[in-house]
Amino acid sequence: MISAKKLTKTLIKNKVTFFSGVPDSILKNFSNYIDRFPKKKHVISVNEGSAVSLGIGYYLSTKKLPCIYLQNSGLSNAINPIISIANKTVYSIPLILMIGWRGSPNIKDEPQHLAKGEITPDLLKTLGIKFCILKKARDLKKFETLIKEARKKNSTVACLIEKGVIISEKRKRTKVKSNKSLIRFDFLKEFINQIPRNSKIISTTGYTSRELIELRKNSKRGKDFYMVGGMGHSSSVAIGYSLHSRKEVYCLDGDGSVLMHMGPLRTAGFLNRKNFKHIILNNNSHESVGGQITTASGINFMMLSKSLGYKNFLKISAKKDLKKTIKRFIKSNGPTLLEVKIDNGTIKNLSRPKNLLKIKKEFMINR
């Protein structure tokens, strides 16, 4: 195990003082630790390609090495600027990647992480990125050697980090919630009570899908497709479905996921499907991986959705408005955006989707 403090100190000792990344559960102790830095030095980015690009911009203005942290699923988002800008055959810009290794061969993990976990080392090799695996504090020496090499050769280097390796000194304080606060589960419960029986739900990565599965134990209204991976793409899947279906299509999105790939919101507005209904569960954070902020609270979703071509916008901020606003939302002609302002908080012992092929098959019945 390696403490977040020690890892940060090692980077600083090697003159790496700029950090950008997308939160990940494996790296949460690290990203929470570096959150003490001012926002010029630690930028929580919307997607991994943007994090790499922020790092490239930082290098161009300072000639110093940036550190980019990400989950290995986000490596695919990052590859474009890594290979087409930073690569030594293009601009040869040095980057340090810290990668949370979900689905590593030694550790049990969710189905959506297995294939990516297995190919991650090969992917780095194919990209020509030298890497080490960090497990213990003594592995930091290897990492330091790689950082020095990145600086000398203007190359990209990486370290892979498995679940449970990075620890924090401080114990997490649990926030006390008031009875009045509106959480995701309150909304979902009322929502699946009201939706038409044959509607289709595409739900985003993390707690949203897991809470929906939990509710499905008692409700059969509608069918769900859980976006266990492909964070940020649930709206595109839902739009694609709505184009060739008369069913009501509901996309349950998170603010972090919407920000990750915001462009499809314009596709939704442009395609103007009556049956496309979009919900953003906005807690201004990446709650599923540690609660790091997303900055979504600064967005005026009403103005945004209007300018993107959505026909209707609704908002819920309090429990008392759930019933009537969900009713109006369901009755509306899409594309409609519903922003639900929620507090962080989930329920205990959440299940995870297991038999994904069965889920797909059931979703596709009565298309």
Ligand X SMILES: Cc1ncc(C[n+]2csc(CCOP(=O)(O)OP(=O)(O)O)c2C)c(N)n1
* DSSP category for residue 179: T
Q: Which is nearer to ligand X, 198 or 317 (CB)?
A: 317
* Choices 238-246, 283-291, 312-320, 328-336 (CB under 6 A): range interacting with ligand X: 283-291
- Binding residue count for ligand X, defined by CB under 6 A: 24
CB 149 within 8 A of CB 130: yes
Q: How far apart are the first and last CA of the chain?
A: 49
For residue 216, which of 365, 325, 317, 363 has the smallest C-alpha distance? 363
- Site for ligand X, residues 183 to 212, rule: CB under 6 A: 204-208
| Binding flag, residue 20, ligand X (CB under 6 A) | no
Sign, Cα dihedral of 136, 140, 141, 145: positive
| Binding flag, residue 29, ligand X (CB under 6 A) | no
To the nearest 5 percent, what fractions of the chain are helix, strand and coil? 45, 20, 35
Q: Which is nearer to ligand X, 147 or 188 (CB)?
A: 188
Q: Which is nearer to ligand X, 55 or 256 (CB)?
A: 256
Looking at 10, 19, 23, 239, which residue binds ligand X (CB under 6 A)?
23
Q: Which is nearer to ligand X, 245 or 295 (CB)?
A: 295
Looking at 162, 224, 248, 287, which residue binds ligand X (CB under 6 A)?
287
The contact pattern for ligand X, residues 124-163, with x = CB under 6 A and - = no contact, is ----------------------------------------
Quickly list H helices, the chain. Answer: 4-13, 28-33, 48-62, 75-81, 111-126, 140-153, 184-194, 207-215, 234-243, 255-260, 264-271, 301-308, 322-331, 356-364
| Binding flag, residue 339, ligand X (CB under 6 A) | no
Three-state SS at 300? coil
Looking at 10, 29, 71, 305, which residue binds ligand X (CB under 6 A)?
71
Which residues are near ligand X by CB under 6 A? 22-24, 71, 73-74, 77, 204-208, 231, 254-257, 283, 285-289, 294
